[in-house]
A and B are shown apart, each in its own frame.
Chain A
Amino acid sequence: MARRVQPQKPLVVQRANPPVLEPTETINSVTDRITSAIYRPTPLGWYIGFAIFFSLVMVLMYSLTYLFIKGTGIWGINIPVGWGFAIINFVWWIGIGHAGTLISAILLLLYQEWRTAINRLAEAMTLFAVACAGIFPIVHTGRPWLAYWLLPYPNNMGVWPQFRSPLVWDVFAVTTYGTVSLLFWYTGLVPDLAVMRDRAKNRFVARIYGAFALGWRGSARHWKNYNIAYLILAGISTPLVVSVHSVVSLDFASALVPGWHSTIFPPYFVAGAIFAGFAMVLTITIPLRVFYKMQSIITMRHIENMAKVTLVTGLVVAYGYLTEIFMSWYSGETFERYFIQNRISGPYWWSFWALMLCNVMAPQALWFKRVRTNLAAVFLVCMFVNIGMWLERFVIVSTSLHRDFLPSSWDGYAGTIWDWSTYVGTIGLFLALLFLFLRLLPMISIFETKELVVHREESETH
């Protein structure tokens, strides 16, 4: 098989670190292992899981239907807290998506071989997370059937969107992000779809995979063009890693609400997004590799590397929190000082301290190799981070709003049953889509993993 990238130096498998691919794996075994996850009979566990998550999708549908009938008033939002769960969830899901882009694009360009075992999964996750995220900005509007007015299209009203509004930037950022992520993911899938086509046991399945494989034959010419296309997409995706969450952060930073109006937001949001993304990839990978017996392909090396990224981005995020506190004190401004004091000791003190526990304290455990190599411990830390990142957005979005400038308008905020059902519903949607993905598409990039085998064999023969 042709190689997509030419490593400058042969892969060195250090004794200290677990290998990127277990030495027992061969080209055949990789293909078998990955395709058989799809071509063997559907396991009972899959049915159970899918049933659970699909019913959560129904909860989402029910919640949204009720929302459309009654209006956003079914949620807990109010004046002054005009944004609640919907925006929190939107930012949370968008953040989770970031790991996929980072792994696919930046790690590809940096020749990080360990990305190959997890990039497909992470990209799929990105896509599903963006799908979940995309629901919220639309349904959170008072009149969702008119949400398309945010798009710049020629219309008989003679009105363009307001290009000064960060919400319009959001539309561009998120749609670009969603589109590029889809293209990237699909492009990466093409050679594997061809494998699926070739391994199909009946014509019907072969036809379907064949159609999506776009006539891939694996010729040298295909590989050449393919590699160029993939690299270009990686190049396009790279700035998106930074831009999307920067733009999302501007929804807040460009407003004048104390707690939002801060220049640190773009970098701090990007770091937070990668932090959240890796935590989520780990959360999904750890049970998955056991269930599908992929330990030899997704090795402890992957787990450790991702844990390290989580730790580093977690430290950046913690630094962001510190800076925020320092700056609001240093500004000497009444409103700025009050907001941070209120955040720490006001009615929502618990959310701040829970956030500190989840996002600052918990990841510190990852400094220790014993923790990083302990699957249960890593999983636990990642669950902390998942919750922590949600809390972070809760703290930023809602607790900043609940007490702003005029004490007369101060009020509280709490989600209603419909807030929760919509949120849980999107988690169901995310996991249901993931289950479908696992069942229908190769969860690990076959051709890239086989490249690793080839590398290893080449380096062994030398």
Chain B
Amino acid sequence: MSQEGLEVKEPQLDLAAIRERLANSKGREYWRSLDSLADTPAFREFLHREFSNNATQWLDHVSRRRFLKLMGASMGLAGLTACGISQPEKIVPYVREPEDMVQGKPLFYATATALSGYALGLLVESHEGRPTKIEGNPEHPTSQGATDIWAQASVLDLYDPDRSKVVAKRGRISTYANFLEEFRAAIGAERPRRGAGIRVLSTSTSSPTLATQMRAMRQTFPDARWYQYEPINEDSALAGAQLAFGRPVHSVYRFSEADVILSLDADFLLTMSGRVQYGREFARRRRPSPEQQGERAMNRFYMVESTPTNTGAKADHRLPLRAGEVEGFARQVAARLGVNVPQAEGGTVPEAWIEALVADLGAARGRSLIIPGYNQPPAVHALAHAMNQSLGNVGRTVLYTEPVLAEPAPQVAGLRQLTQELAAGQVHVLVILGGDPAYTAPADVPFQANISRAAFSVHLGDYGPDNSATSARTVWHVPRSHYLEAWGDTRAIDGTASIQQPLVEPLYTSRSEIEIMSAFSSRPDASSYETVRSTWRAQVAPNLDFEVYWRRAVHDGVVPNTALPPIQPALSGDLASRLGAPMPVSAGLELMFHPDPSIYDGRYANNGWLQELPKPLTKLVWDNAALVSPALAEELQLNNEDVVELRYQGRTLRAAVWIYPGMPGNSVSVWLGYGQPLLGRVSAGTGFNAYNLRTAAAPWYGGGLEIAKTGEKYTLVNTQDHHTLAGREIARHVDAEEYERNPEAVHELAHEPEQVSLYPEYAYNGHAWGMAVDMTTCIGCNACVVACQSENNIPIVGKDQVSNGREMHWIRIDTYYTGTDLDNPETIMQPMFCQHCEKAPCEYVCPVVATSHSSEGLNDMTYNRCVGTRFCSNNCPYKVRRFNWLQYHDKSIESLKLQKNPDVTVRERGVMEKCTYCTQRISAARINASKENRPIRDGEVLTACQAACPADALVFGNINEQGSHVMALKNQPRNYSVLGELNTVPRTTYLAMIRNPNPRLIGEGGSE
């Protein structure tokens, strides 16, 4: 593997400006303007530079000139909308081949992505210099090889055609050199005032380099200030730590050590930082006791939550509580665990529930875990600290460290202060690094309106002045480099640092945060590569060889020994008085804000994969909604898709209603991130902007909501209409106790007839591929869905097409509700994709043998042969086949072509497609194995979904080999075939969902 990616070179020419100029001219003008343009020295220069020197030598002079002319003309025809990737590689062979590069073979580079400041270590697949696919870095502590949807989808962001491509001043194209000149002048003017007018606003960051740069800046400009703001922040946790310990403390949870878990509205499997690591460790302890390694038992998980999440769906006992009631509940539990806290009056939680929970927690001292949600107030965090302390969990299931994020401070308060300073005219130089604070700011913080009060302002952003609320207001806009384009560094939830290694030169004239911040230094044009290296050079012990250290760190994706050591902060003695009386629970309706499960805080709104990703549980796509409980819907006579007016603290917002089983009554939940008016072609027209209701005082929830029906309808689209099992034993589940007593319980749920067939059996001499899906550990996080989309060139189709049942995902997470309580159902998630049936119903009905059985048991699709009768899909009992009803792949956008996996056919309209078990990965492994004259090893083929899965719920392998991992799972008594009675003999089998409810609570609320 190559160690370092490409060094970032300084671009010599503002190519993008030329492109932009051409792209902005319309229609017939191309020819005329190109003629004139092609003759300018600048244009000739850039064409020349696009070719390597070798090209100049290889071709004779005259024909090269002629070629350039033709090249220019053909570029004109193409409309010059393409990005800045050089074209000549296509026609000129490598004279000196880059190290390790074999044409057609991908290379993997270690890097890391960060969301809300916390890193996820990655290995990124690169084909001839194009990053195409994100994988987790097995050596990185938070990834351990797995990823989440945001990491998976981030590669599409790189190629987003709506990304800003040029530096702009007041909306007009400019150059970085011009920007730097003005920026330096503005900074210079602040020097006599000790930088009193300089304000930097960044997103949450853990980057050591950026933190170093900030410190350096404040050495030069002592009165300059650095604020951080993200809409999904840790303000509560920070304030909670202040309450409990009197100082900022960062918590890391060790689910692998926890036998009993209580989550206080913490969605630790999907939206909380550390989700991938937590998902993996949670799943490891989730398997039924006989399958656990060592003497361990299956964990038991209690969840108190205000909006149903995947995390809650996995709970053994789930209790819907309004967000405002969680604190009262936490106080009740804390009191019983021996924490002295004032109690709220009249809790709504059944006494038996609390009793059983407390008994369970108490019985697992040192092996229990209480985890508070970021949306809960500081008091809940402080109470969780106190409870964990009193249960002896600290140092075992909960580790405390110094903060991982650089200079954590209350972010909402910071933004408000910055806004006040702007309004007061104190800010002369405003540097906004990333994010879109004008869009995400609380509604009562008029940040957007005050940006223009700074004489000099710049926004380093992904989207330009036409597409971003912030860039539209700042004087300057600088395109922000994607993390795959620039050097950087970041830290994981446990503090482990990673060097962010770019895989590609910036596609456009973009810069990173680090490069912008260099402007404050003596070397304003320092590259991110130099700056990051110099940060780490300073960290390395003098006796070590920095080059070795650096290469190791970059190669591994992890800087060794950088995890933060645990600390033992002392719990403040007067917690009871510091906490004071509980906040009164608001009467009436409560409104809650949550990050969107697909597009997070809105930063991914222009990412088609994420927009079309069915949100967990609701399966909604392309929109957010006002989520209400069935009880509330009944009371207010609301129906799905009714447009209502949400009146909240003097503000109003129109939103469409979605009835969400499991919501607590009297509360409404909305997802943030939608309704961005400017963003791009993907996000256009999606959802409604919940930031318009969010205030600084109550960023997560608040009372006093009123709902008024408007009588209008808004189409909401989801991918699964029916969540009932209709009495069918498709997604089987039994309780742990019953399963231990009777391992055959899973099979006794349904009649499983003996399998007979008229057709002879297939013989498999070599491999026979198969898969096992563990529904107990599956957390429904959708990482597999996006990974599959990325690996297999699966197109997005848009809201209209999805509304007609034409989504193309090869994997879907079927979600079924069971139980008798509509307001608190049990949830089962079942990943469903091609089952590769041994007796496949699709195979015999295809008139042209386009789908056929392979010698290794795969159900192969031959796209070239398919004429599109769709009989195979009709006859598929699992309905996992997907048809290209129209030409779904957008062949007109050049940048999107770069993302495509060259090992997988891009399908045309009119052909059927479906899960292939990543047959291209099997082929790659087969070729490797045969070169080394050995059989394919168990675990050598990881399907894209399996590789991404944090919960190890998907295991692929050879079912012809008894010792394989997949067979170990398939030999479990809870292994069964979905619709096995149809005699399809699927190769993908399912391990039934096992729940571990508290015997004391069965039949008493909670999930039972």
Contacts and interface: CB of A to CB of B under 8 A. Distances in A.
A16 interface: no
Contacts of B805: 78-81, 411-412
B918 interface: no
Contacts of B911: 142-143
Contacts of B881: 79
Interface of B: 720-728, 730, 801, 804-806, 812, 814-816, 830, 832, 841, 844-849, 865-871, 873-875, 877-879, 881-887, 908-912, 978-979, 982
A409 interface: yes
Interface stretch (A23-31, A253-261, A301-309, A446-454): A253-261
A147 B878 CA distance: 26
A11 B648 CA distance: 91
A71 B887 contact: yes
B847 A76 contact: no
Contacts of B883: 79, 82, 142
B868 A142 contact: yes
Contacts of B816: 407-408
Contact of A161 (B725, B726, B841, B847): B847
The 9 closest A-B pairs by CB, nearest first: A142-B868, A142-B910, A73-B885, A78-B805, A73-B886, A82-B870, A409-B879, A408-B814, A167-B847
A73 B887 CA distance: 9
B866 to A, nearest CB: 7
Contacts of B845: 164-167, 254-255
B782 to A, nearest CB: 15
Nearest to A149: B848
Contact of A147 (B801, B865, B867): B867
Given A256-B841, A257-B875, A161 B806 contact: no
Contact of B844 (A76, A141, A162): A162
A256 B877 contact: yes
Interface size class on chain A is 35 or more
Contacts of B873: 79-80, 82
A142 B866 contact: yes
B865 A406 contact: no
B856 to A, nearest CB: 20
A73 B912 contact: no
A405 interface: yes
B495 to A, nearest CB: 41
A276 to B, nearest CB: 23
A401 B879 CA distance: 10
B909 A257 contact: no
Given A71-B886, A80-B879, A401-B874, 5 more contacts: A73-B806, A142-B909, A142-B912, A143-B909, A165-B845
B875 A78 contact: no
B879 A162 contact: no
21 contacts: A71-B885, A78-B885, A79-B882, A83-B871, A142-B868, A142-B869, A146-B867, A162-B846, A162-B848, A165-B845, A167-B847, A255-B875, A334-B728, A401-B874, A406-B730, A406-B832, A407-B728, A408-B723, A411-B721, A411-B805, A412-B721
Nearest to B887: A71
Given A143-B867, A149-B867, A405 B886 contact: no
A162 B847 contact: yes
A1 B885 CA distance: 60
Given A71-B909, A71-B910, A406-B814, A82 B871 contact: yes
B727 A334 contact: yes
Interface string A391-415: 0000000000100111111111000
Task: Find the residue from A157, A167, A251 having the highest chain B CB count within 10 A.
Answer: A167
A412 B832 CA distance: 20
B849 to A, nearest CB: 5
A325 interface: no
Contact of B846 (A77, A146, A165): A165
A159 B848 contact: yes
Interface in A148-171: 149-150, 157, 159-162, 164-168, 171
Nearest to A170: B847
A159 B849 contact: yes
Interface string A52-88: 0000000000000000001111101111111100000
Interface string A408-426: 1111100000000000000
Nearest to B750: A334
A89 to B, nearest CB: 15
Contacts of A171: 847
A338 interface: yes
A159 B847 CA distance: 11
A83 B721 CA distance: 20
A70 B888 CA distance: 10
A140 interface: yes
A72 B868 contact: yes
B726 A407 contact: yes
A79 B885 CA distance: 10
Task: Find the residue from A162, A255, A408 having the highest chain B CB count within 10 A.
Answer: A408
A406 B866 contact: no
B892 to A, nearest CB: 15
A408 B877 contact: no
A409 B845 CA distance: 20
Nearest to B910: A142
Contacts of B727: 334
A167 B871 contact: yes
A167 B910 CA distance: 17
Nearest to B619: A408
A357 B911 CA distance: 39
A91 B909 CA distance: 26
Nearest to B848: A149
A412 B720 CA distance: 11
A407 B730 CA distance: 9
Contacts of B814: 406, 408
A157 B867 CA distance: 14
A82 to B, nearest CB: 4
A307 to B, nearest CB: 37
A412 B803 CA distance: 10
Given A76-B804, A141-B910, A149-B865, A165 B720 contact: no
Contacts of B874: 80, 82-83, 255, 257, 401
Contacts of B866: 142-143
Contact of B982 (A74, A146, A256, A409): A256
A144 B979 CA distance: 33
A420 to B, nearest CB: 16
B877 A406 contact: yes
Contacts of A82: 870-871, 873-874, 883
A83 B845 CA distance: 14
A336 to B, nearest CB: 12
Nearest to B982: A256
A166 B887 CA distance: 28
B877 A143 contact: no
A186 to B, nearest CB: 30
B720 A408 contact: yes
B831 to A, nearest CB: 11
B914 to A, nearest CB: 10
Contacts of A143: 866-868, 908-911
A1 to B, nearest CB: 48
Contacts of A406: 728, 730, 814, 832, 877-879, 978-979
Contact of A255 (B841, B886, B979): B841
Contacts of B722: 407-408, 410
Nearest to A402: B805
A159 B982 CA distance: 29
Contacts of A80: 805, 873-874, 879
Contacts of A409: 720, 878-879
Given A71-B886, A72-B910, A256 B847 contact: no
B459 to A, nearest CB: 40
Nearest to A74: B886
A233 B509 CA distance: 78
A147 B869 CA distance: 9
A404 B725 contact: no
Contacts of A168: 847
